[in-house]
Amino acid sequence: MSDKIRAQHLARKAMLYVRQSSAYQVSHNLESQKLQYAMQDRLHQLGWNEIEVIDEDLGRSAAGTQTRTGFERMVAEVCLGHVGAVAAREVSRFARNSREWQQLVEVCRVVDTVLVDQETVYSPRQSNDRLLLGLKGSLNEYELDLLRQRSLEARREKAKRGSDSAAFAPSSLASNLLNLTTTTRVVVPINFWREECKMARRPVPIAGPMGAGWCRGS
């Protein structure tokens, strides 16, 4: 048990915040969900018996562009003095923008609530921990900006490769003709004939003795 956790913290409940950034992660990164929910065991080991799990923000980004009802409810509970600890497997789960991160840290400092991740217990009332939390928040925001920049550069390169390959692609007319001669069966009227996409008038059949006709190609 950490020396930063005192009786007044344990007398209040702990809140475990679980979040993933997109619906794809919620559906496919199931191991990440299990690890986040497993933080309840760590809170029990630290001495909390009452633990509330907040997971309504699954599938929502913490970049500050979406409303997160779970995060807002957690901050409100902290402001009311009902929470002794807020926990997440990584502190980046709380917020990836400075505004919400600093809001959470400041509220926890005022009401004396500790922050807990998989490795450390942070007390915002201690200057060293407050400095470390500030650095972590800045790094989380920087990491998100870096990921956005890389994604944008990848899209630009993909678009550039697409435009380069389009220069060597056959024209739409040539492509249509190619499809017409190779993949499309054209229904030709009985008095027409077809040769390499050209249609010419067929000579009128000449009736023979048995009534059969023949035609002469041009």
Active-site choice (2, 21, 92, 171): 21
Handedness of CA 134, 140, 143, 145 (dihedral sign): negative
* Beta-carbon count within 10 A of 186 CB: 10
CB-based contact 133:94 (threshold 8 Å): no
Q: How far is CA 22 from CA 17, 26, 63, 159, in A?
A: 16, 6, 12, 24
CB-based contact 26:20 (threshold 8 Å): yes
Q: In the annotation, is 21 catalytic?
A: yes
| Cα–Cα distance, 25 to 121 (Å, whole number) | 27
For residue 215, the number of C-alpha atoms closer than 13 Å in the C-beta half-sphere is: 12
End-to-end CA separation in angstroms for the chain: 98
| Cα–Cα distance, 31 to 123 (Å, whole number) | 29
| Residue located via tokens 């909390």 | 48
Annotated catalytic residues are: 21
